[in-house]
Amino acid sequence: MTATENGRQMLQIAARAADKLGGEDLVALDVSEPLPLVDVFLLVTGRSERNVAAIADEVEDRLLEAGHKRLRREGRQEARWVLLDFGDLIVHVFHPDERTYYGLERLWKDCPTVPVELTAPAEVEA
């Protein structure tokens, strides 16, 4: 099983939003094989608690604006590790210390990565 087209589209929206606010070290993992209810994890690092919160808010706003429903949000108050669950996509926005400590890349090392496009596709002129 591989990530659905919907999960991949959501990933691109979220990745561009995170990048816009200075999100660093973006890694997308196709977790559809071990987790049948989720397609993609997006891991992002923010430079401080304020930056983590701002990145999470921007990602959430852009996905909601695109018509996707948020199922769950955790960690926003502390802003050390914010989890945004949009069904096919789960976004993890970490403070650098938490990202190192929890090491999700190590835990999910058997999952393939998904390419992340940080620029929007060019609009086709008619």
CA distance 69 to 90: 12
pLDDT attached to residue 2: 82
Cα 17 to Cα 11: distance, rounded to the nearest angstrom? 10
Residue 17 has pLDDT above 60, yes or no: yes
**Band (121; pLDDT cuts 50, 70, 90):** low
State the average pLDDT over residues 4-20: 94
CA count, 13 A, side-chain hemisphere, 28:
25
Predicted TM-score (pTM) of this structure: 0.90
CA dist., res. 12 & res. 119, Å (int) = 9
Q: What is the pLDDT of residues 63-87, one digit of tens each?
A: 999 999 999 999 999 999 999 999 9
Per-residue tokens: 30:
């196709």
Candidates 72, 103, 65; CA nearest to 89 is 72
Closest CA to 99 of 37, 44, 17: 44
* Rounded-to-integer distance, Cα 13 and Cα 27, Å: 14
Q: Which residues of 21-49 are buried (b: 16+ CB within 10 A; e: fewer)?
A: bebeebbbbbbbeeeeebbbbbbbbbeee
What are the chain's domains?
5-107 (3.30.460.10)
